[in-house]
Structures are given as C-alpha cells and as structure tokens.
Chains A and B, each alone.
Chain A
Amino acid sequence: MYCILQKDRLNDTVERMVVHAPFVARKCEPGQFVMVRVHEGGERIPLTIADYDRERETVTIIYQVVGFTTRQLSLLQADDSLSDFAGPLGRPADLEPKRRVLGIGGGVGAAPLYPQIRKLKELGANVDVVLGGRSSEFVILEQDFRAFADEVHIATNDGSLGTKGFVTDVLNKLLAEGKEYDEVICIGPLPMMKAVVGITKERGIPTGVSLNPIMIDGTGMCGGCRVTVGGETMFACVDGPDFDGWKVDFDECIRRQGMYKDMEEHLCLIEQEG
C-alpha cells in the first residue's frame, strides 16, 4: 500500500497528490511515469510523475478527473492509501543542455512538462513556457513555472485568461516576433501536440512530445500502447513515452485512444446511477 501524504485541488477537475513510494522516488527522472491501481480489483492507469523528493521518498502525481478510475482516485484524501503504484516506468526524457527552449503544456499536460522544463533550466537553458486550457480554470501550475521560467504565456479558448485562442496562436505569435528556439517540448492532448508539430516541423524546430496511449501493464509485455514513430511500431511504455514529434503518427494515436470510449462512458453511467 502507498500512503497519500498530501492532496490538494488545482482547479475544478485537476488534483495533486503526494504519495509515499520509496522505490519510485529513489530512481525516477523527468519524463517517467507510474501505473496506479486505486483499489484492489481496480484497473491500472498510467500517470506521469510531476515531481519527486528523494529524501522524503515521495512522488507527486497530478491528474484530471475524467472518468471512472480518476473519480475513484479523487475520492481519496491524505492518509488514505493507493493499492498499487508501480514504477518508475518509461525512459527518462533525453534532456541535453540547450540554449533556448520553449515548453508548451496543454491542460493537465503542464504537469509532466514541469519537471522536464525545470531540469532544462537547471542545465542552463533559457526557457519560455506556454500554458493552455479551455478556460482559466484549466490552466495549472502557472506560478510554479513563473518561479523559474523566463517568460510564461497563457492561452485559453474562451479568453478568460491570457490570449484568447489556442497555444498554437501564441506559438505563431512568438515565432512571428522573431523568437528563436533550439527545441520545443510539447505535452498535452493529441490534437494539440499534432497542431504544434505541424508548425514547428515547417520551421525546422526539433519538437519532443509525450504520448499518453492506453496502457495496461506499462512494462512492455502487451503492446496495447503501441504507436507508429518514423514508420516503425514502438511501445510507448518502454520506448517512450517521449518521442520525436516530427515522426509520430498522431492520427493513429487519436484513433487508438478512442478504442474503449463507449465502454468508459457506460461505466461512468453505471456509477452515476449507483
């Protein structure tokens, strides 16, 4: 069992938990994730590691309440326990010293972006950040990024915070203003990552993305998370989850992510009807 030491809400649907998980905390690096099972008999879901503290042996997860299992997670409070918390999984992100980096985080994607951008800053890069969300309450970790980033820009679809529009509008604006970046790291919903890569590829800016396909074991034994990268089949749980965004077949990822949509909705309906 893995004790929840701290829990807080970042907005209406996004929550943060600090979990005591010695094996994960001891080894994890930015870019890696854990597989979580809330209760005995529950399903396994992947969650990216948003932060960690090796001394306290804790790992921070940030998740959006989107369905049955994240709702179960959300019902737990500090001092409750999680049944399973396996990891760290996946390859650590390839974070080499760069001069100028732009981090783009869409919604809860800002959480896995955070440790990567912070590490790049520590490695000496100038970092700018664009955070996006449907409306202001979906934008998370703004203050956390402002603590070290050179510039933080916000885009909301309804204009309730920052620029009205998409993160791509801000990206286009920054590039139009003559900003230059050696690398973009973009984490968020698949259509957003696809749109960002559409721009950066044309401009020749290398772009890392973090994929979040359906996973079961998270250790490479099933291939449920397979994605096509550069024409080759890869398992996101062991070969990723970070990949060269120029090479990812996003349309296939989007199709595969919807594979169980009807069953997930059914499950939530049953839950509501009690």
Chain B
Amino acid sequence: MANMTKEKVRMPEQPPVVRARNFEEVALGYSPRLAMEEAERCLQCRHKPCVNGCPVSVPIPEFIKSVAAGDFEAAYRTIVTENSLPAICGRVCPQENQCEGECVRGKKGEPVAIGRLERFAADYALRSGVAGGAKPISNGHKVAVVGGGPAGLSCAGDLGKLGYEVTIFEALHALGGVLTYGIPEFRLPKSLVEEEIEKIAELGVTIHKNVVVGRSITVDELFADGFEAVFVGSGAGLPRFMGIDGENLNGVYSANEFLTRVNLMRAYDYPRNPTPVKTGKRVAVVGGGNVAMDAARTALRLGAEEVSIVYRRGMEELPARVEEIHHAQEEGIQFRLLANPKRILGDGVWVTGMECVEMELGEPDASGRRSPREKAGSEFVLELDTVIIAIGQSPNPLIRQTTPGLDIQRWGGIIVEEETMETSKAGVYAGGDAVTGAATVILAMGAGKKAAKAIHESLSKD
C-alpha cells in the first residue's frame, strides 16, 4: 500500500541564520529511511506522466520502485541509462515544471519528490563508489564536442556509451560550464560535479581543456582533423549590461564575473586562493532570475550586510524558481520590486549608489505579459557599494564568427532542426543555451541527448 500522505517527506536543510554565512550545501538530502518513505508515495502509474515531463526521459517509476525496496544501486543504474548527471539534475532541475509537474499525486497534495529521490540515489552511488559504465569497444568514429557544459557532457556521455571516440574541447581549465562557474557551491557542491563528470570521462572520452574553439581551432579545422561530426554546446555566456551611466565604475560586476570569481576561482576562500572579489556592505543585484538569486545569496555569504534584488516587475513575475526565491527570503535578501535602475552613481572611482525609478505594470500585451512602465517623478536612490548585473546572457559570438555556413538567429542563437539538432552546416549539430539562449541545465542535457541520437543514426548509416 502506497504512502498516501499529501505532503512530500521533508528534506533536512541548514537553518537560514547558519547557512547565510557559509558556502556549504543548503539542502542536506534524504537519509535512506526518508528516501524509502518518500518512494512509497509513488503510485507506479502505468501511463507514467512524470516520464513525459522529463527532458531526458528517466524511467522514473522504475527507479523509485528500487528506492522503495531499498536497492539504491539498482535505482542508480536505472537512472543512468538515460541521465549522465543525476546528482546534478536532482539538485538543480526545476522539477515543478517538469517531472513533478506531471505527477498524479500533485493533483491532490504535493507530487512525489522525484528530484530528491534522484539526488538520493546518485549521492548514494557516488558515496559508496558504485562504478560507472565500463569503457565500451571503439566503433572507430570520431566526434568532437565543443563545450564541456551540461549539453556537451550529456552528448559525449551518450556517444561514449555507444563506442564513439569522443573529444570534448573546453575553453576553461575545468569542465562543467555553468555547473562549475555559475551555480554556487551551496546549491551544487563542486566536488560532486567533478565526481559526476569523472564518470563520463571513464567512458573513454578525451578531454582537451584550455582550447577555445573559434580561436585555438575552428569547426572546419576539426573536420580536417578527422572528426566526422561536431556538436556545439558552447552555451550563452555573454553577459548583458544595461547601457546606463556609471556601469563601468569600480564595484559594478556582471553576475557572470562575480559568480565565476567565487565558484570557479573560489574567491570565497581568499587568500588561500589568490583570486580576489570585492563585496561591499550594501549590495544590489539587478534582475530576477536564478542567476540573480545565486549572486545575491553569494554576496550575503561573502559578508554583505544588506543585499537587495532590484527587479522591474513584481513578485509574481520573478523568473527564478520559487524554491530559490523562498530560500533567498529566508536568508534575509530584500526584494525591491517594480524598480528599474536609471544610473549608477559613484565618487569618480567606486560605486556609491544607484538611482532607480518605480515601475507599474500595464495591461497584458498580445503575449500575455504585462509590460512595466516608469512612474513619472518616482526616482529614488539606493546607497550601495556593489552592483551586480544579472539581466541575462546571450550566446558567445566566437563560434558564429568563425564558422562559415552556420545559420544564426538575429539574437545570436544557432538555428537547428528541432528533431535532430542539426544545423545548416553539414555534420554540425548544436544544442543547449547556444541554441535556445539561457535556459535550464536539463533542457541542455535533453538537447545533447537528442543530438547524440541523431549523430549515431547518421554515422552508423555508412
């Protein structure tokens, strides 16, 4: 008999006052007992709506059944047939819009905590040293993957399992893309990202770090070097700025810079790590997405006394995950909603404040979005010493500038055939944020997976 409790089994968390000053993980994960109790809530539906909600089609009821039976290794093995990075997805996927959004139990009460269970099974496997898949026998075909983020890793993992000789080209000194430089330690421990990526490397994937495709080597040169297909998963890492006065003052960061310093370069551990970061006492983060929440919560942990989110729409419209907004509020982040920056003020060198204007929301437009407009004469000044801009990113232009024949959207996204992720250039596939603009980790992984399937179909034909 299933556990018919309406609520998910609660996952232990660090208390807000403690965690707001450390970089350790906020959510502590289920114990085996809690995991089995939650797994009992799954009704094992025959039509499996949850699987339809998962961009990489993890066999959800099957793995949950193993968790309920206490066979955690079997649960892990079931998950990794479809998902190469389950410890990561279990933590950062917006499950409310995906698998859990479709769960039957969600109609009367809370859905089954699929994400927490996936995380539990993956953590169990990493902790108890369950080996990854053995290196398969090579089929002799060479495929290049540009970018070691979620899209590239998932594409490389799937092709590796099929016996392809895959080489990942990564621009930075560490793999993981946004998992490594963007999402903070307190949401996604980096040691875990490294371990999970190591499982992909064990499939025999070759990794070239410090190689910037477009500069170190071009896509055409990859083909000349014998690669038969190229997957571009170069992400959307180009930060947007507002173009307002004072944006180049000292103390103004893009969220990408701020988070890269702290996460990839571990500036939070200065001076043991030599990369510095400057967080003042009063910090404003401009924007309302997950990146803004990450930057604000990071600033708090670095010792800021007051951190506010400045967003031009209201609470309802914040694009960040509800859970992240909730965590931020618990930790004491202020929300200055319906406010838009007009200019950043400084003493000639450093930031001293930001002039904002109050906004109001108009009637919904054709797309259903209520567009914000300024309230005349409502300008006000926030006194600050740091401003972090988190208003979005676009695809890096390097690949498109150096790859003739690649069709691109006006805003910079690579155009692909939706079913196969094929681009306009023969043999070149693309996926993830490079195609969609900034989206989610799991959608990028889904795209990498789709491309791997299409590459396999194309190369195994000959």
Give Cα A194–Cα B348 distance, bound, in whole angstroms.
Answer: 19
Give Cα A217–Cα B212 distance, bound, in whole angstroms.
Answer: 11
> At the interface, yes or no: B380 with Cβ under 8 Å from chain A?
no
Contact A223 B271 (CB under 8 A): no
Given A220-B398, A222-B257, A223-B254, does the pair A263, B276 have CB atoms closer than 8 Å?
Answer: yes
Contact B273 A43 (CB under 8 A): yes
Contact B250 A259 (CB under 8 A): yes
Task: Give the residue of B173, B237, B278 whose beta carbon is less than 8 angstroms from that of A44.
Answer: B173
**Residues of B contacting A256 in the complex (Cβ-Cβ under 8 angstroms):** 248, 250
Contact A43 B275 (CB under 8 A): yes
Contact B271 A255 (CB under 8 A): no
**Residues of B contacting A69 in the complex (Cβ-Cβ under 8 angstroms):** 274
**Residues of A contacting B348 in the complex (Cβ-Cβ under 8 angstroms):** 255
Please provide the chain A residues from 22 to 45 with a CB less than 8 Å away from any CB of chain B in the complex: 23-24, 26-27, 32, 35, 37, 41-44
Contact B211 A23 (CB under 8 A): yes
**Residues of B contacting A260 in the complex (Cβ-Cβ under 8 angstroms):** 276, 278
**Which single residue of chain A is at the shortest CB-CB distance from B273?**
A41
> At the interface, yes or no: A267 with Cβ under 8 Å from chain B?
yes
Binds B, one of A80-88, A102-110, A142-150, A167-175: A80-88
Contact A222 B256 (CB under 8 A): yes
**Residues of B contacting A270 in the complex (Cβ-Cβ under 8 angstroms):** 271
**Which single residue of chain A is at the shortest CB-CB distance from B170?**
A86
Contact B248 A267 (CB under 8 A): no
> At the interface, yes or no: B294 with Cβ under 8 Å from chain A?
no
Task: Give the residue of A27, A259, A267 whose beta carbon is less than 8 angstroms from that of B278.
Answer: A259
**Residues of B contacting A158 in the complex (Cβ-Cβ under 8 angstroms):** none
0 or 1 for each of B204-240: is its CB under 8 Å from A? (1 = yes): 0000111110011100000000000000000001110
**Which single residue of chain A is at the shortest CB-CB distance from B243?**
A233
Contact B239 A223 (CB under 8 A): yes
A239: min CB distance to chain B, Å: 10
Please provide the chain A residues from 51 to 74 with a CB less than 8 Å away from any CB of chain B in the complex: 68-69
Contact A226 B237 (CB under 8 A): no
**Residues of B contacting A43 in the complex (Cβ-Cβ under 8 angstroms):** 265, 273-275
Task: Give the residue of B211, B217, B260 whose beta carbon is less than 8 angstroms from that of A86.
Answer: B211
Give Cα A262–Cα B168 distance, bound, in whole angstroms.
Answer: 39
Contact B250 A233 (CB under 8 A): no
Given A86-B211, A88-B216, does the pair A221, B248 have CB atoms closer than 8 Å?
Answer: no
**Residues of A contacting B141 in the complex (Cβ-Cβ under 8 angstroms):** none
> At the interface, yes or no: A224 with Cβ under 8 Å from chain B?
yes
A159: min CB distance to chain B, Å: 34
Contact A217 B217 (CB under 8 A): no
> At the interface, yes or no: B78 with Cβ under 8 Å from chain A?
no
**Residues of B contacting A258 in the complex (Cβ-Cβ under 8 angstroms):** 250, 349
Give Cα A69–Cα B237 distance, bound, in whole angstroms.
Answer: 26
B238: min CB distance to chain A, Å: 6
Give Cα A86–Cα B173 distance, bound, in whole angstroms.
Answer: 8
**Residues of A contacting B247 in the complex (Cβ-Cβ under 8 angstroms):** 233
**Residues of A contacting B209 in the complex (Cβ-Cβ under 8 angstroms):** 84, 86
Centre residue among A32, A43, A220, A222 by max chain B CB count within 10 A: A222
Contact B241 A223 (CB under 8 A): yes
**Residues of A contacting B257 in the complex (Cβ-Cβ under 8 angstroms):** 216, 222-224
**Which single residue of chain A is at the shortest CB-CB distance from B208?**
A23
Please provide the chain A residues from 173 to 205 with a CB less than 8 Å away from any CB of chain B in the complex: none
Task: Give the residue of B216, B243, B250, B396 whose beta carbon is less than 8 angstroms from that of A221.
Answer: B396
Give Cα A220–Cα B212 distance, bound, in whole angstroms.
Answer: 11
Task: Give the residue of A26, A27, A85, A263 whose beta carbon is less than 8 angstroms from that of B210.
Answer: A85
> At the interface, yes or no: A126 with Cβ under 8 Å from chain B?
no
Contact A87 B271 (CB under 8 A): no
> At the interface, yes or no: A238 with Cβ under 8 Å from chain B?
yes
**Which single residue of chain A is at the shortest CB-CB distance from B216?**
A23
Contact B254 A219 (CB under 8 A): no
> At the interface, yes or no: B171 with Cβ under 8 Å from chain A?
yes
> At the interface, yes or no: A122 with Cβ under 8 Å from chain B?
no
Contact A220 B238 (CB under 8 A): yes
A67: min CB distance to chain B, Å: 9
0 or 1 for each of B363-400: is its CB under 8 Å from A? (1 = yes): 00000000000000000000000000000000011100
A39: min CB distance to chain B, Å: 10
Contact A89 B215 (CB under 8 A): yes
**Residues of A contacting B343 in the complex (Cβ-Cβ under 8 angstroms):** none
Task: Give the residue of A41, A219, A223 whose beta carbon is less than 8 angstroms from that of B171.
Answer: A219
Give Cα A255–Cα B265 distance, bound, in whole angstroms.
Answer: 23
Centre residue among B173, B253, B256, B260 by max chain A CB count within 10 A: B173
A43: min CB distance to chain B, Å: 4
**Residues of B contacting A26 in the complex (Cβ-Cβ under 8 angstroms):** 216-217
**Which single residue of chain A is at the shortest CB-CB distance from B247?**
A233
Contact B260 A217 (CB under 8 A): yes
Contact B238 A216 (CB under 8 A): no
**Residues of A contacting B173 in the complex (Cβ-Cβ under 8 angstroms):** 37, 44, 83-84, 86
> At the interface, yes or no: A9 with Cβ under 8 Å from chain B?
no
**Residues of A contacting B265 in the complex (Cβ-Cβ under 8 angstroms):** 43-44, 216
Give Cα A264–Cα B278 distance, bound, in whole angstroms.
Answer: 12
B155: min CB distance to chain A, Å: 21
Task: Give the residue of A27, A224, A259, A266 whose beta carbon is less than 8 angstroms from that of B215.
Answer: A27
> At the interface, yes or no: A157 with Cβ under 8 Å from chain B?
no
19 of the cross-chain contacts (CB-CB < 8 Å) are A23-B217, A26-B217, A32-B215, A43-B265, A43-B274, A86-B211, A219-B171, A219-B172, A221-B237, A221-B238, A221-B239, A223-B257, A224-B254, A238-B398, A252-B248, A255-B250, A256-B250, A259-B278, A267-B271
Query: A-side interface residues toward B, CB under 8 Å?
Result: 23-24, 26-27, 32, 35, 37, 41-44, 68-69, 83-89, 216-217, 219-224, 226-228, 233, 238, 252, 255-256, 258-260, 263-264, 266-267, 270
- Could you list 13 further interchain pairs (A-B, Cβ under 8 angstroms) beyond the known A44-B265, A267-B276? A43-B265, A44-B275, A68-B274, A83-B173, A86-B211, A87-B215, A216-B260, A217-B181, A221-B237, A221-B396, A224-B254, A233-B243, A259-B278
The 7 closest A-B pairs by CB, nearest first: A86-B210, A222-B257, A221-B237, A263-B276, A84-B173, A43-B275, A23-B216
